[in-house]
């Protein structure tokens, strides 16, 4: 028995940024250290994610999590009591076996994710280290610590905005900023000017799920045009200082090779959607595109990556669901070149790291990401720094569940004395020959 020995595992129902129930697990160790974590929730989910177990029934639209909360107390707690919180791999294995189903439908992927992350937080706390430093020490990359480059949403669309436009995220990346703090300053100005533009044109209708402005546009491209204008109004040169990043989230409007762009009143096949996106890449300073095709369209992904993979980051989110096997398969087919990393898609810390390692092995870039249903839990920011993930995406520049993460990175930046350096070497694909990059 030592300071890392698990003494108790407690769970409670808490509430996320959409006002929906979610799970918080609290792990207490023998001499008082403890760690907490809350599972976030996606709205545009990949079908291969571990299951987010909900109670069904009338209350909260069937979204309650009391079954999963009770499984943590009655099944997980006794299984973990007495174990060493540093043994993350063993603990995650026990959690997976305890559930016993492929999709984590018995105890719930959400219950297991919160617990896995809470164990990690508890171990760091017993070591009296912030999580980012604990991870860096465990993984031996203390020397190479760097801050992830942020991609920040300005307009939120897709299912985060009742499908007001089809494309889900219209984001900016401050490619020429010389510090993390400066990247935030530039993005803050762009966000502010986007708001002014929307107000001046009578289109300001609040914000979408991740805090980006509600996309009151008549076409998807109008959102891109307005984003370019916002960048210019803020005094920046698109493509020189600020690049664009889009999350198409195509699984939400496409299946079996048919894509319905409701906002543009068009139905496209896979090649035509690819063609449309390539046209945007040629006309706008886009350096990253996530889920350009639907998760079932591997051939479409492969063709798209063949066409633009040397110029832009082609990111698999719903397509790869933070799953090492999916990453290996995609790499074999050259189906994309970057991984979006979401711990609650993978289900445990160990599986999340495995997907990240697989991405690195195949020369993929990686972006750690929040979900559309979030809380004040900052764990992912620590994972990004501690694991050396070079990009981060936590939504827009408003709403506290987003700002708490950007602000946590400011504190870490100060602690590691890297306020000066924001664009870590290799954040974007090395082969990137896109003319927009300075
Ligand atoms: P989600 O969206 O959390 O609703 O899945 C985030 C994303 O697609 O990146
Ligand atoms: Zn996505």
Confidence of residue 438 (pLDDT cuts 50, 70, 90): very low
User: Is pLDDT above 90 for 433?
Assistant: no
Beta-carbon count within 10 A of 257 CB? 16
Confidence of residue 229 (pLDDT cuts 50, 70, 90): very high
Dist. CA 65–CA 13, nearest whole Å:
7
The predicted-structure confidence for 69-82, as pLDDT tens digits, reads as follows 999 999 999 999 99
The predicted-structure confidence for 31-44, as pLDDT tens digits, reads as follows 999 999 999 999 99
With a 6 Å cutoff on the Cβ, whether 43 touches ligand 1 is yes
Catalytically annotated residues: 210, 342
The predicted-structure confidence for 106-129, as pLDDT tens digits, reads as follows 999 999 999 999 999 999 999 999
Residue nearest to atom 8 of ligand 1 (CA): 44
Residue nearest to atom 1 of ligand 1 (CA): 42
With a 6 Å cutoff on the Cβ, whether 369 touches ligand 1 is yes
pTM of the model: 0.96
Dist. CA 242–CA 298, nearest whole Å:
30
With a 6 Å cutoff on the Cβ, whether 247 touches ligand 1 is yes
The predicted-structure confidence for 255-281, as pLDDT tens digits, reads as follows 999 999 999 999 999 999 999 999 999
pLDDT at res. 421: 54
Residue-averaged pLDDT of the chain:
95
With a 6 Å cutoff on the Cβ, whether 42 touches ligand 1 is yes
User: Is pLDDT above 70 for 423?
Assistant: no
With a 6 Å cutoff on the Cβ, whether 125 touches ligand 1 is no
**Share of residues in the chain with pLDDT > 70 (%):** 95
The number of the ligand 1 atom at minimal distance from the alpha carbon of 249 is 8
Nearest to 224 by CA among 275, 309, 174, 165: 165
> Of 371, 377, 391, 402, which is best to mutate to test ligand 1, by the most ligand atoms within 8 angstroms of its C-beta?
371
pLDDT at res. 178: 84
The number of the ligand 1 atom at minimal distance from the alpha carbon of 40 is 3
Nearest to 88 by CA among 387, 337, 288, 321: 387
Q: Identify the three-state secondary structure at position 426.
A: coil
Dist. CA 46–CA 62, nearest whole Å:
20
User: Are 326 and 320 within 8 A, CB to CB?
Assistant: yes
pLDDT at res. 42: 98
Q: Per-residue b/e over 418-437, b at no fewer than 16 CB within 10 Å?
A: beeebbbeebbbeebebebe
């Amino acid at each position: 028995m030592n300071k890392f020995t698990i003494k108790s595992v407690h769970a409670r129902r808490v509430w996320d940024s959409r006002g929906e129930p979610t799970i918080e697990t609290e792990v207490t160790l023998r001499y008082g250290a403890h760690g907490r974590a809350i599972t976030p929730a996606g709205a545009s989910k990949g079908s291969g994610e571990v299951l987010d177990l909900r109670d069904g029934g009338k209350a909260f639209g069937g979204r309650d999590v009391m079954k999963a909360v009770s499984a943590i107390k009655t099944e997980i707690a006794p299984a973990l009591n007495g174990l060493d919180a540093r043994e993350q791999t063993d603990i995650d294995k026990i959690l997976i076996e305890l559930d016993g189903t492929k999709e984590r439908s018995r105890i719930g992927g959400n219950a297991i994710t919160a617990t896995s992350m809470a164990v990690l937080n508890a171990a760091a706390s017993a070591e009296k280290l912030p999580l980012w430093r604990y991870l860096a020490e465990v993984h031996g990359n203390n020397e190479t610590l760097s801050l992830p480059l942020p991609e920040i949403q300005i307009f939120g669309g897709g299912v985060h905005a009742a499908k007001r436009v089809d494309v889900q995220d219209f984001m900016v990346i401050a490619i020429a900023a010389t510090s993390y703090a400066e990247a935030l300053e530039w993005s803050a100005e762009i966000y502010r000017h986007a708001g002014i533009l929307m107000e001046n044109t009578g289109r300001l209708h609040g914000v979408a799920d991740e805090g980006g402005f509600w996309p009151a546009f008549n076409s998807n491209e109008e959102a891109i045009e307005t984003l370019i204008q916002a960048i210019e109004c803020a005094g920046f040169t698109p493509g020189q200082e600020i690049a664009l990043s889009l999350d198409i989230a195509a699984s939400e409007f496409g299946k079996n090779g048919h894509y319905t762009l409701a906002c543009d009143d068009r139905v496209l096949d896979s090649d035509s959607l690819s063609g449309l996106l390539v046209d945007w890449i040629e006309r706008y300073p886009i350096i990253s595109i996530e889920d350009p095709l639907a998760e079932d369209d591997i051939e479409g992904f492969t063709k798209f990556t063949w066409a633009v993979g040397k110029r832009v980051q082609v990111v698999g989110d719903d397509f790869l669901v933070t799953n090492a096997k999916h990453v290996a398969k995609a790499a074999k087919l050259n189906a994309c070149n970057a991984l979006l990393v979401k711990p609650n898609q993978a289900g445990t810390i160990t599986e999340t790291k495995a997907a990240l390692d697989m991405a690195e092995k195949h020369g993929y870039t990686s972006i750690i990401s929040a979900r559309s249903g979030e809380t004040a839990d900052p764990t992912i920011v620590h994972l990004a720094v501690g694991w050396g993930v070079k990009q981060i995406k936590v939504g827009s520049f408003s709403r506290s569940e987003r700002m708490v993460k950007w602000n946590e990175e400011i504190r870490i930046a100060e602690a590691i004395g890297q306020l000066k350096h924001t664009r870590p070497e290799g954040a974007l694909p090395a082969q990137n020959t896109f003319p927009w990059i300075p």
